[in-house]
Copies of this chain bind each other. A is one copy, B any other.
């Protein structure tokens, strides 16, 4: 299997690369090559197969054609302009998230090799007056441009798959927490930083109340689900190959209690509660209750507890917990 990850330098791309390295196979066949493509060369990883870094800008068709070739068996399309960024820069959001996705799909169609394409959508496709809980049959009603662009991406992937141009499947990612690294321009960025920073002895701001409910998944389980997502047989996907990836609904309070249970009472004291007017409108629509039944039925999984998410972060992403 010759695998390409577009967005291979990101948090999810890197975790996915490691999960593929650990498994060594995909869809029952040995992995022969993994290419990590991103705007800038991605860090490569240790693996029992060759791993290459490549630069790719999905807004440029020639750049897309360089990384997707006749040899490419499986493509993960993770690259995106994230929520608050796409909301601030309307044109750039559409350019990357809609036209960039279309460039990838058109390249696959032109090749005629029908590669497996795993598209990552987002729970930002949900919103407005649609009654919760959101199920696999709920209307997508995005209230930010990022969500609109991802919903359009889903429709394109589904239509290109139906026409036989790709073996497509899409997964709406829950908010990934705890994300390692630094804050990004997603409105959900605080949902990681209020754990990541305090666990390393630094302050962080929480702009919502402790009872704010939202839908989460650890980076580790997200990567495992993306591996599994590529392995689902096309005929098991039914007439809508895009679905919500499993996650769990937790309140901020439940997550902080989990951090305290794992790492003691000190980190929670470093959280400052303070509204952030520039993302308040987005967050008001993100009090979420989601039931990802189809993906669970197909074998994808949620985390067992948020304690696990905290432990994964401590084990994988920092050498030792803050204050230890």
Contacts and interface: CB of A to CB of B under 8 A. Distances in A.
Contacts of A2: none
Nearest to A162: B143
B128 A142 contact: no
Given A138-B137, A162-B143, A163-B145, A240 B128 contact: yes
Nearest to A131: B137
Contact of A239 (B143, B151, B240): B143
A284 to B, nearest CB: 11
A151 B138 CA distance: 14
Interface string A84-118: 00000010000000000000000000000000000
A283 interface: no
Interface residues of A, number: 27
A96 to B, nearest CB: 15
Given A141-B158, A145-B163, A152-B152, 6 more contacts: A90-B163, A129-B239, A131-B137, A138-B139, A139-B240, A143-B162
Contacts of A90: 163
Contact of A152 (B139, B155, B240): B155
A262 interface: no
A130 B137 contact: yes
A289 interface: no
A127 B159 CA distance: 12
User: Of residues A128, A131, A141, A145, which shows the largest number of chain B Cβ atoms within 10 Å of its Cβ?
Assistant: A141
A136 interface: yes
Nearest to A285: B239
Interface string A131-165: 10000111111110100100110011011001100
A131 B239 CA distance: 12
A127 B127 CA distance: 21
A277 interface: no
A238 interface: yes
Contacts of A128: 238-240
B240 A129 contact: yes
Contacts of A152: 152, 155-156
Contacts of A162: 143
Contact of A148 (B127, B141, B159): B159
B142 A140 contact: no
A148 B129 CA distance: 22
A94 to B, nearest CB: 9
Contacts of A139: 136-140, 240
Contacts of A239: 127-129, 141, 143
Contacts of A136: 139
User: Of residues A158, A159, A163, which shows the largest number of chain B Cβ atoms within 10 Å of its Cβ?
Assistant: A159
A187 to B, nearest CB: 15
Interface string A198-238: 00000000000000000000000000000000000000001
A149 to B, nearest CB: 8
A49 B143 CA distance: 39
A145 B127 contact: no
